[in-house]
């Protein structure tokens, strides 16, 4: 089970009041609980507080992870990447549930972030694309490009040729999941032991 560091399931509510699709008590079915989107470092004290709040069962393990961002790659040709710097303006195009973690990262890397945000799972339309293009062209910046997530890049795929013809620079932000401290070794061992002991 995954639960964000800044928005633990223990503090959330069942739909429609919150985002939970099951009662909080359903967490007891999980074998592994991963606290995601952590800061780069989580103190031992914070770990203890979060684990105490989650209150894992005897059969459950709790791990902590964070996102690690690589250089954005070109939407039209992934072989080409770009280094972010403080002279860049970025139009962030996204249709994911929460962009705050990504924005925190970008805020430290680029000059300014401009947003074209849509609801989670939004399917882009031609009207959306034209709006993005116009918003991008209206940016008063010498160096600028559109940045999107890998998840959203798949949704933009039907408009790739159109964007290319409009000469709109679009880059995709790759994301890797990294475990904190020694959690990776412990997690890998847990999964390996489970697979080796699995019986039909």
Number of folded domains that form the chain? 2
Report the length, in residues, of the chain: 200
pLDDT tens digit sequence for 57-108: 999 999 999 999 999 999 999 999 999 999 999 999 999 888 888 999 999 9
Domain membership of residue 23 as a residue range: 2-68+177-196
Are 105 and 163 found together in one domain?
Answer: yes
Are 75 and 169 found together in one domain?
Answer: yes
Bond prior to 16 in cis (omega within 30° of 0): yes
Are 91 and 32 found together in one domain?
Answer: no
pLDDT tens digit sequence for 10-53: 999 998 888 889 999 999 999 999 999 999 889 999 999 999 99
Are 79 and 159 found together in one domain?
Answer: yes
Contact between residue 57 and residue 28 where contact means Cβ atoms under 8 Å apart: yes
Are 117 and 75 found together in one domain?
Answer: yes
Rounded to two decimals, what is the model's pTM? 0.82
Here the CATH number for the domain that contains residue 91 is 3.40.640.10
pLDDT tens digit sequence for 102-152: 999 999 999 999 999 999 889 999 999 999 999 999 999 999 999 999 999
Are 101 and 165 found together in one domain?
Answer: yes
- How far, in Å, CA of 119 to CA of 122, rounded? 5
């Amino acid at each position: 089970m995954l639960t964000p560091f800044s928005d633990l399931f223990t503090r959330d509510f069942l739909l429609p009041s919150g985002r939970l699709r099951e009662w909080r008590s359903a967490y007891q079915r999980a074998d592994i609980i991963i606290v995601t989107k952590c800061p780069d470092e989580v103190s031992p004290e914070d770990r203890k507080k979060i684990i105490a709040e989650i209150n894992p069962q005897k059969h459950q393990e709790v791990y902590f992870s964070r996102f690690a961002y690589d250089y954005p790659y070109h939407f039209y040709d992934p072989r080409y990447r770009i280094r972010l710097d403080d002279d860049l303006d970025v139009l962030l195009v996204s249709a994911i549930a929460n962009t705050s973690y990504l924005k925190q990262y970008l805020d430290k890397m680029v000059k300014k972030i401009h947003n074209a945000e849509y609801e989670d799972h939004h399917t882009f339309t031609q009207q959306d694309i034209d709006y993005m293009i116009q918003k991008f062209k209206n940016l008063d910046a010498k160096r600028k490009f559109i940045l999107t997530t890998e998840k959203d890049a798949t949704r933009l795929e039907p408009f790739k040729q159109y964007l290319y013809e409009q000469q709109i620079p679009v880059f995709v932000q790759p994301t890797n999941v990294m475990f904190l401290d020694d959690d990776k070794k412990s997690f890998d061992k847990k999964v390996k032991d489970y697979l080796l002991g699995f019986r039909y």
